[in-house]
Each structure stands twice: as C-alpha cells, then as structure tokens.
Amino acid sequence: MNRLAQTALLFLLGATLLHAGTTDLYLRYVKEGLRPLVLLAGVVLIVTAAATLWYDRRGASTHDGGTPVHDHHREPRVSWLLTLPVLALILVAPPALGSYSATHTGTALTKPFGFPALPTGDAPLHLAVVDYAGRAIYDDGRALRDRELKITGFVTLDREGAPYLVRMGLNCCAADAQPVKIALTGNVPPVLRPDTWLEITGTYTPRRTKDPVNDGPIPYLEVTTARPVPTPHDPYDETWNT
C-alpha cells in the first residue's frame, strides 16, 4: 500500500472512531467510561493522517534544490481492500452480546469487597442483576428480605428450557464480556423468547442453583410480574467489577 493509501486509511479509521464516540456505536465495543479515549484516538489518527499527507506532498515538491520528484510506483489495488473492515464498522453495527453468549458461558459472579447500604422505605428497590446476585449469594439476602425488587435484564434459556435473567458485564471491552445470571421462579411468563428484555418485579428467595456450564452459583428470584422493556441505552452492566 502506497503512502496515499496509508494516509486515507488512517483518516478513515480516525473518522470511524469519532463517529463511534459521538454516537452510541462505541458501546458495542467498549464500556461507557472509555468514550474519551475513543474520541482521543480518533483525533490522533486524523491529525497523523493530515501530517503525513502534508509531509509527503512537501517532500515530493522540493527535493535536491527544488527539483520536483514524482512517485510513479504503483501498489496492488487489492491493498485497498483493507478499508473494508473500517467501512464495516460504520455501516454495520454489531448487536450487543446476548443469550447465545450467556448460554455458552458460565456465570462470572464473584464475591464483592462489600455491600453498600441500600435505600430504605417502601418503594420498590431497583437493583442491577450483578448486585442482586452478589447480595443473594454472598450476603444471604440480608438486605433484600421483605423488599419489593425491580431488576432488568435479557432472557436466556438453558438446554432444558429453564429461564434466566442475564446481564453481560465488561471489564474493558466486548471481547471480555461475561454474564451474571439470575434463575427465575414464581409467576414466570409461560412463553419467553431469548434476548427479550424484561423488567422483573419480585422478591428474594434463598433458593439457589448451579450454572450448568461452570457450576458457578446462581440465585433465584421469585417473580411477581414481568413486563417487556426496550433494550437499554447501554446493554452492558455498569455496576460490573465495582
């Protein structure tokens, strides 16, 4: 690939990162807190492309006392195919990881360092999947008992059709995404489709099971009601690894 093609590819990649960082596209690849780094990388690549083009043109126009020098060397046109993956990032946004990944990956629930105090009162308590699972398993649900809980996640079914409410968590990017699962019991809807997002209203139950993939602990949630909800702005769990 010649210098012009390299410059064009740098510019295109930088523009792609800026596009991803100024929209929600970047959330398909990295966690929300990394947005400034995505934008910075885009700016650096565009500046690098502009500087490379300026330097190349300046060197070509003045060489050996001002004698113009023209590069007639041609590179294979196939090298431009390297731009296709970049264009794919712009035109085809991949979906967030869902039930397929959750079914084939064991729960990644780990014991947290501590459990912050929860709001008091009679209002329903909104919890993340990983927060409920951690408190139910490692704190025996002490702060969850006799509380109405609301938890949002997507549905996955194991090989035997047992339903789970799942949220994928990121340490850094989608490549390291891992699920945390809650098994559902009680007033579970009779028909559930994988990858459907639900807001579950329910209560804590001490019942537990083991993940069939890695034997990791999975708590149950006693379902009172379940209603479909749109896919959230950030489909990955923001309380992950906190």
Model confidence pLDDT, tens digit, residues 142-164: 999 989 999 999 999 988 889 99
Token pair belonging to 201: 């209203």
Distance from chain centroid for Cα 194? 18
Q: What is the largest CA-CA distance in the chain?
A: 86
Question: Which one is predicted more confidently, 150 or 12?
Answer: 150
Model confidence pLDDT, tens digit, residues 31-57: 677 778 878 887 888 888 788 777 777
Q: How much is the pLDDT for 82?
A: 60
Contact status, residue 35 vs residue 26, Cβ threshold 8 Å: yes
Q: What is the CATH number of domain 99-228?
A: 2.40.50
Model confidence pLDDT, tens digit, residues 55-74: 777 766 665 555 554 555 55
CA distance 135 to 219: 9
Query: What secondary structure letter does DSSP report for 111?
Result: -
Q: How much is the pLDDT for 10?
A: 77
Token pair belonging to 61: 């126009």
Beta strand extents in the chain (DSSP E only): 125-127, 149-157, 163-169, 178-186, 197-210, 217-228
Give the residue from 136, 155, 145 showing the smallest Cα distance to 227.
155
Model confidence pLDDT, tens digit, residues 178-229: 899 999 999 999 889 999 999 999 999 999 999 989 999 999 999 999 999 9
Domain ranges of the chain: 3-91, 99-228
* pTM for this predicted structure: 0.70
